[in-house]
Chains A and B, each alone.
Chain A
Amino acid sequence: MYVTYYMPNGSQASSELFENLKLELRRGCLTLAVLTQLRTERYGYTLRKALADDGLEIDEGTLYPLLRRLESQGLLVSQWREEDKRNKRFYRLSDQGEQILEQLLAEWQRINASLGKILQEA
């Protein structure tokens, strides 16, 4: 069996690599977190607040395209409604979203358990 090592040069490349990998790692987790939070109806800002309160900061430029994508995939439904004299777009999980979320959460538990096992062994 052969193992190939590549030595990158410079800490800048290393930090860039870390940022890219972190972004990849976060991407799937964010989707799961957003879907879970939207079991309760929320609008954009309160959703961001709820996520941030639980330690998952997400900026506007990431959240709104994600909401739009999830809605176009049929996992969310949205509605413009007036609240406090302002128009707000409220999101919640669709029926299909509920089913997919259950499957995703089961998958998440499985991955988490496997990862925990791997990390214990290491």
Chain B
Amino acid sequence: MSKAKDPRELIDRYLQAVRFWLPKSRKQEELIAELGEDLRSQVEEKEAEISRPINEAEVSEILKRCGAPMIVASRLGPKQHLIGPTLFPIYLFVLKMVLLWIQVPVFLFIVGPVNLASSGGNWGVAIAHTLGNLWSALFIAAGVITLVFAVLERTQVFVEINCKWDPSTLPPLEKQEFKTSSVQSVCDLAFGCIGLLWLLLVPSYPFLIFGPAAAFVKLGPIWHTFYWPIVLLSAMNVARAAIALARPQLDWFPKFSQLITTALTLILLRFLLDAAGVGTGLNWHPFVMLADNLMDSTHYLKIVAVVNASILLGLVGAWIGLCIAAPIQTWEFMSYLRKRSSGLHQIATLRVL
């Protein structure tokens, strides 16, 4: 005949399960003994209350009220964390800085083009390689940063820094983000109109762009194709400034329109550089050339070559600048949208006094 199971055995099984989740130490045994004592006292009290031996269901009820072994162990055991609350904001800042603001741009503007060049212009292969490399690099960097911060956490280096900090070394106040002022909008509109007018007058009055050199330099045929798109872009800028001035309540508009303008300018510049023959291996189409009556002047040819090189460098510089500006503007616009959708726009500031 089998012996009836002691309902108190459930307590031992419970303690065994809690012990499993606790870090092994002398304290572990003490904690388990203390918890066991508490549970047995509860059982005794229950038995005194009901005037009979406790059954398994009633023990089970006590254990359920106490909590699941893993949860109880997490409360009983020492608080464990890889990176504590003091270091965590710094860790997050460094992680964002390295991953988003260093690695992603490096892969986008350096590794990506290098991969494109080494793959012989095959975009698919270049993108796949770059994304693969980027993923590995992000993973390794995140791991190394986490490891470094875990070590700092253990060595308590930041406690010393906290004792030594000096309020006078605090960074100056950041400028608050204000909406575009009406003065700025008026200036944008005025300078936009002047720029557009200047652009429209240039074909008739080359002096406006070349100055005294207009006597021996003229615009290359490449501008016949790109002149009107440039005028259109300039007109768009004027319209943008006008809308921003007329409807200041459209707080999304300046950021959004700036992003669109940057994208269109990038596309236009790309076509312009391609058409000029940069990086395509095709014939070079100069931006400026010698006036018809001076075609054989070696001296002027040198000047024209310098002017062409300067324009080319300027356009390439502008293209690189816009390539950097585009992700920043996208980020700013996305942050704006995120703030709007997260309900921060509901913050109500009331002037009480």
Q: Produce 1/0 per residue, A60-81, CB < 8 A to B.
A: 1110110010000000000000
- On whether the beta carbons of A59 and B66 are closer than 8 Å, the reply is yes
Considering only residues 8-37 of chain B, those with a C-beta below 8 Å from chain A are: 27, 30-31, 33-35, 37
B-side contacts of A92, CB under 8 Å: none
A-side contacts of B85, CB under 8 Å: none
Determine which of B37, B67, B71 lies in contact with A87 in the assembled complex, contact meaning CB atoms within 8 Å.
B37
Q: How far is the CA of A44 from the CA of B41 in the complex (A)?
A: 10
Q: With A2-B352, A61-B75, A64-B76 given, is the CB distance from A7 to B346 under 8 Å?
A: yes
Q: Report how many residues on chain B are interfacial, defined by Cβ distance under 8 Å.
A: 26
B interface secondary structure, majority: helix
Q: Report how many residues on chain A are interfacial, defined by Cβ distance under 8 Å.
A: 24
Report B59 CB to chain A, min CB distance, Å.
15
- On whether the beta carbons of A89 and B352 are closer than 8 Å, the reply is no
Q: With A59-B67, A61-B75 given, is the CB distance from A5 to B347 under 8 Å?
A: yes
A-side contacts of B38, CB under 8 Å: 44-45, 48, 60, 64
4 nearest A-B residue pairs (beta carbon)? A61-B75, A45-B41, A45-B38, A1-B353
Binding site for B on A (CB under 8 A): 1-7, 9, 43-46, 48, 59-62, 64-65, 68, 86-89
| Besides A4-B347, A65-B75, 10 other A-B contacts (C-beta < 8 A) | A2-B349, A2-B352, A3-B352, A5-B348, A6-B346, A7-B346, A60-B76, A64-B31, A68-B27, A88-B37
Binding site for A on B (CB under 8 A): 27, 30-31, 33-35, 37-38, 40-42, 66-67, 71-72, 75-76, 343, 346-353
Could you name 5 residue pairs across A and B whose Cβ atoms are closer than 8 Å? A2-B349, A6-B347, A45-B38, A45-B42, A86-B40
